[in-house]
């Protein structure tokens, strides 16, 4: 099967069917907030059936942004990335649901909006890699790290 940008084998498809409930960290970046896309993005995830278990708006500090993107600290665009994400309000939220980490990424599209399929968030609303509207965790392990970085335990519904 072709599933978004990934080839999905029958075995993988069976694993998706059996997939357990997960949590993913999502952030509408300053360009997404400025374009008035908070509601549209939340609507897509809610209509899909994922549950919002935490939600807040904040202007991230430089420290938070650097920790969030620490895997990219040697990349040439790191400075630009941190200054962009701290340039205005971000809407950070946590989604819960079966297979939500991979599914949320499929709904986002790929890193470069010009290569993202129409119907995906980046495919529908962006052109520039550096202004690609939204962040979504790329694995269950990253989701756990990012949720702990952005939210206190008591801010999450149990």
CB nearer ligand ADP, residue 61 or residue 111: 111
Per CB under 6 A, 117 contacts ligand ADP: no
- Confirm or reject binding of residue 155 to ligand ADP (CB under 6 A): no
CA-based torsion, 105, 52, 118, 65: positive or negative = negative
Q: How far apart are CA 152 and CA 58, in angstroms?
A: 14
CA distance 108 to 111: 9
By CB under 6 A, the count of residues binding ligand ADP is: 8
* CA dihedral of 19, 6, 67, 87, whole degrees rounded to 10: -120
Identified binder of ligand ADP from the candidate list 19, 52, 53, 129, rule CB under 6 A: 129
> Is the CB of 42 or the CB of 101 nearer to ligand ADP?
101
Instruction: Count CA atoms closer than 13 A to 21's CA, side-chain side.
Output: 8
Residue set of the binding site for ATP: 29, 77, 105, 111, 122, 132
| Residues at the interface with ligand ADP (CB under 6 A) | 77, 81, 111, 129-130, 132, 135, 138
Residues forming the active site: 135
């Amino acid at each position: 099967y072709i599933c978004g940008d990934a080839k999905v084998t029958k075995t993988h498809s069976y694993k998706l069917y059996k997939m357990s409930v997960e949590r993913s960290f999502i952030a509408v970046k300053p360009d997404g907030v400025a374009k008035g896309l908070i509601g549209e993005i939340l609507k897509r995830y809610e209509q899909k059936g994922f549950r919002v278990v935490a939600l807040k708006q904040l202007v991230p500090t430089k420290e938070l942004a650097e920790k969030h993107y620490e895997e990219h600290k040697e990349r040439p665009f790191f400075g630009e990335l941190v200054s962009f994400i701290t340039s205005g309000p971000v809407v950070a939220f946590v989604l819960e649901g079966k297979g939500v980490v991979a599914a949320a990424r499929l709904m986002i599209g790929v890193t470069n909006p010009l290569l993202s399929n129409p119907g995906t968030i980046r495919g529908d609303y962006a052109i520039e890699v550096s202004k690609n509207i939204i962040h979504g965790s790329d694995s269950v392990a990253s989701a756990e790290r990012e949720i702990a970085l952005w939210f206190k335990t008591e801010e999450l519904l149990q």
